[in-house]
Amino acid sequence: MQKVISTDKAPSAIGPYSQAIEINNMVYTSGVIPVNPATGEIPEGVEAQANQAFQNLCNLVEASGSKVENIVKTTVFIKEMNDFGKINEIYKNYFKEPFPARSCVEVARLPKDVLLEIEAIAYK
């Protein structure tokens, strides 16, 4: 049986989807963007946006009853592949070895014209 995960410590869904779903002790998040959930503001610059998005993702995973260390896979969507190195530096502040498996894809456009979006799969 699936369970909807929702928290006010991550941006609310801006469409017909759940922030995350838990099924069989696995947590699947939707894409998380760098919106400050308290203010609705989007920070300027890729480093600030990466910090906000990764913090939002951590908050969402923790709201599920799991923890960041239990994330086994992430997918990062970035607007500009030239920001890959900057994003990696921020990523290392949130994820420790052994790092989750990860895909990183450059995309043409993201919701609210943010610079990156991240989704994850974690176990409980």
> Which pLDDT tens digit goes with each residue over 31-68?
999 999 999 999 999 999 999 999 999 999 999 999 99
**Position of tokens 């939002």?**
56
58 is catalytic: no
For the cut 90, the answer to whether the pLDDT of residue 14 exceeds it is no
- pTM of the prediction? 0.97
pLDDT computed for residue 1 by the predictor: 87
Alpha-carbon torsion, ordered 58, 66, 70, 77, to 10 deg: -40
Q: What is the pLDDT of residue 27?
A: 98
Cis before 111? omega within 30 = no
Do 90 and 50 contact (CB within 8 A), yes or no? yes
Task: Specify the pairing of strand 20-23 against strand 26-29.
Answer: antiparallel
- The strand pair at 116-123 and 71-78 is best described as antiparallel
CATH code reported for the domain at 3-123: 3.30.1330.40
Query: For the chain, what percent of residues have pLDDT higher than 70?
Result: 100
Catalytic residue among 12, 104, 115, 124: 104
CA distance 72 to 6: 20
3-state SS string over 41-84? CCCCCHHHHHHHHHHHHHHHHHHCCCCHHHEEEEEEEECCHHHH
